[in-house]
Structure 1
Amino acid sequence: MADDKKEPWLNFLALSTVILAVCATLATFRGGGHSTRSVMRQTQASDQWAFYQAKSIKGNLCEITRDQLELEAKGATGARAADLKAKADDYAKKVARYDQEKAEIQAKAQSLEREREDALKHGAAFGVAVIYLQIAILLCSIAALLKKQPVWWLGMAVGAVGIVNFVNGFLLFF
């Protein structure tokens, strides 16, 4: 056993396998974080859209009430007509307020949906990276067991694709 000389490329194989494993671990961690973020943003956006719908219902009820008051005011005279018109004006202000609130809620919901989409893109890139990095680790392990350098080179090629996707998870360059 002491006479067996270790081939120098095996040291590089071991080091490269460790680097691939670290990148795979980090990609898994980052991908999981983005996945959680996308679920949270989806939930928040859904809450905003439910709030938007509630404001729409309230606004529609105010519009109906306003319209009814305006119709009653047309048939009324004197102080009663003025009172009905004043109430109709109050409801018109509420309708305008609900429309403004709906616009703000819509903007927030759409912003949350954009954040969700961004998180999904990052998470997908990290997911692809994990797949390639795991395959590369597997190939490097097989190369170590069989002591076949061409299998290690294949593992390095697959690992390079994994590392490119890992970097893409941060930068989204494709």
Structure 2
Amino acid sequence: MSEEYEVHGPHDHAVEHAAAGHGGHGEGDPFAGRMAVITAILASIGAIFAYQSGTSENLALYYKNEAAIRKTEAANQWAYYQAKGEKENLAELGAALSANASETQRRFTADAERYRQQKEPIRAKAESIEKAVALDDERSEALMHGHHRWAQATTAIQISIALTAITLLTRRRWLLYVSMGMASAGVVLGALAFSSI
């Protein structure tokens, strides 16, 4: 039989203990209730920031992967372009080495012109793919920057939650102000991350 165990941190026990009225400060302690509400709000904000952080990171990795795939495709196009250029050069050499006005010279000249015309669309496609690679790289970098902002915001909120729990345990109001300052910093970082979307 499989049993699931739930592991609580020390601040979780303190919040539950205080919310139950066992904090040694009487039933229905309003300070403990406020700390519980603040903790719940901060945890909700932190969960949203953590989700956004993960989403930004996943999208950044997706675009980086797309860029890598397209780089390979562009390299293949440039190799194809080079192969056509070599065939063109060989046909021109064949034409130059053939007797003037001979059927062989006309065939080599026609082949050289055909290879020259075939190269242009290949070059254009390779350059187009390289532009797409650059765009995917830019998207990836921007999303990764956003991921870092979301992660910083999440960390600030987590620190604020921990400070709120310590505030509940120590009953130091100044600690509550420090906690709210950290929460404010987290919200500002989250707003900066949101504005970069």
Same fold (TM over 0.5): yes
CA distance in 2, matches of 1:3, 1:117: 52
Aligned counterpart, 2:119: 95
CA distance in 1, matches of 2:47, 2:81: 51
Aligned letter for 1:171? S
Aligned letter for 2:45? C
The correspondence for 1:58, drawn from 57, 80, 83, is: 80
The correspondence for 2:96, drawn from 74, 87, 101, is: 74
Distance change (3 Å), C-alpha of 1:123 and 1:159: same
Distance change (3 Å), C-alpha of 1:3 and 1:59: closer
Deviation at 1:7, TM superposition (A): 5.4
Q: Does the CA-based 8 Å contact 1:17-1:140 persist in structure 2? A: yes
Greater shift, 155-164 or 73-82, is seen at 73-82
Aligned counterpart, 1:84: 108
Q: Does the CA-based 8 Å contact 1:23-1:166 persist in structure 2? A: no
Q: Does the CA-based 8 Å contact 1:133-1:158 persist in structure 2? A: yes
Aligned counterpart, 1:170: 194
Q: Does the CA-based 8 Å contact 1:63-1:95 persist in structure 2? A: yes
Deviation at 1:36, TM superposition (A): 0.5
Aligned counterpart, 1:149: 173
CA distance in 2, matches of 1:51, 1:72: 32
Q: How many residues align?
A: 173
Deviation at 1:112, TM superposition (A): 0.7
Aligned counterpart, 1:117: 141
Deviation at 1:62, TM superposition (A): 1.1
1:42-69 deviations in whole A, cap 9, x for unaligned? 1100010111111111111111110111
Task: Specify the SS of the correspondent of 1:4.
Answer: coil
Q: Does the CA-based 8 Å contact 1:21-1:133 persist in structure 2? A: yes
Matches within 5 A, 1:37-48: 37-48=59-70
TM-score by length of 1: 0.92
Are 2:39 and 1:17 equivalent residues in the alignment? Answer: yes
CA distance in 2, matches of 1:99, 1:20: 55
Are 2:184 and 1:160 equivalent residues in the alignment? Answer: yes
% same residue: 16
Aligned counterpart, 2:163: 139
Aligned counterpart, 2:5: none
1:135-173 deviations in whole A, cap 9, x for unaligned? 000000111122221111111111110111111111039
Structure 2 gaps of 5+ residues are 1-21
Q: Does the CA-based 8 Å contact 1:140-1:152 persist in structure 2? A: yes
CA distance in 1, matches of 2:50, 2:110: 62
1:73-117 deviations in whole A, cap 9, x for unaligned? 012132111111111111111221211011110111111111101
CA distance in 2, matches of 1:26, 1:12: 21
Structure 1 gaps of 5+ residues are none
Q: Which has the higher helix share?
A: 1
